Amino acid sequence: MFDSGSTGFMLLATSLVMLMTPALAFFYGGLATKRNILGIMIQSFVSLGWTTVLWIVFGYSLCFSGGEGGIIGNFDKIFLMGVGVDSMFSNGKIPELVFVAYQMMFAIITPALITGAFVNRVTFKSYLIFLTIWQIFVYYPFVHMIWGGGLMATWGVLDFAGGIVVHATAGFAALASVFYVKDRTDKNSTPNSIPLVAIGSGLLWFGWYGFNAGSEVQVDFITSLAFINTDIAASFATIAWLVIEWILKRKPKFVGLLTGSIAGLATITPCAGFVPVWSSPIIGIAAGAVCYFAVEFKNKMKWDDALDVWGVHGVGGVLGTILLGVFASTTFNPAGANGLFFGNAGFFWTQIIAVAIAAIYSFIFTYIMLILINLFTPVKVSEADEKLGLDIALHGEKAYDEGAL
């Protein structure tokens, strides 16, 4: 039966998740060097347009039409055929068109997450090809397998809002991209605008309530559980990262604090609606600590993941998926499962296997895909363009007017 309250909430949640993509552009734009602000921001904003085209034409159909127990769906709902204005989502509470729009916002932001890893090294043309192929062969299959009634759903894999589907796949694709495009010419770059980073991270945190709480796809007790778990974990991760960095680097770093919040948000994402409230501080502290040391490990290995996509999103997504296998409880969500802490080791290992498959597949496919794209158009910009900055070299624009009035 149509539920106006749930429908209104889901329209709001959809708007919040849409806001996360511009927020990501601000976050990455502030972290980028002065010559590459627009180059990184346009990669997020173009996904708003192009991913929507792909989603409406065939993306939604491949994710959520047919293919029960399989790897990918079918083309029954291409161009949203059969999705009428009065079609209802399977829970019978919201219009299917609202669900189409909500899931589309996830599809928009997921590949945009990857861009922070290869900032100021990739041509715009190759990125558009990357954006298209990666969604079709990585994002859509995992959406279908876990959320669309596909293969992993039959295994009992759970992912409340995207630890596997979004963060693990994007984070390990980012690492593969870093290995392929190799180092920047100047790795000693500093953020051009920390206030812009703060605006972006604040809007991401705000939007994440729609990302996680909205994934219940209706308003009920689980919606509130996901909401509060999201905030608690993010808050504890923020403080954990701040304290660790303060102790080790002797000063409290604002960028570190902001990065810690994103790590907490990414880590709680798969767990949000499946775990008890008392576990969210533990998940948050683990996120702040593990993601911090993952970034330090990346630095020690000299992997040029410029904006720490792997350490924050990749490691956060994997960690959250594993901790879901530990803390999930049917007492708090009967639609979920019991985790290791509640005596179910089988579910714990199922989660580990699923996230390992996602991470490995995304890494290998992304690396091979970049090799193939490079056969048709250069993936990496020239050294001259990199030194000039992609804002001028590729887009003919500058973020700030530096001339005198």
Judged on CB neighbours under 10 Å (0-12, 13-18, 19+), 251 is exposed
Element (H, E) at 132: helix 124-134
pLDDT at 405: 46
Handedness of CA 251, 302, 380, 104 (dihedral sign): negative
pLDDT at 150: 97
Q: What are phi and psi of 289, to 5 degrees?
A: -75, -50
pLDDT tens digits, one per residue of 100-145? 999 999 999 999 999 999 999 999 999 999 999 999 999 999 999 9
pLDDT at 1: 78
The pTM of the full predicted model, rounded to 2 decimals, is 0.96
Query: Which pLDDT band holds residue 403 (cuts at 50, 70, 90)?
Result: low
pLDDT tens digits, one per residue of 324-358? 999 999 999 999 999 999 999 999 999 999 999 99
Helix, strand, or coil here: 88?
strand
Integer CA distances (angstroms), 238 to 30, 120, 212, 230, 259, in order: 19, 28, 18, 12, 8
Judged on CB neighbours under 10 Å (0-12, 13-18, 19+), 352 is middle
The share of the chain scoring above pLDDT 70, in percent, equals 99
Residue ranges of domains in the chain, CATH in brackets? 4-390 (1.10.3430.10)
Beta pairing partners, 164:
none
pLDDT tens digits, one per residue of 280-309? 999 999 999 999 999 999 999 999 999 999
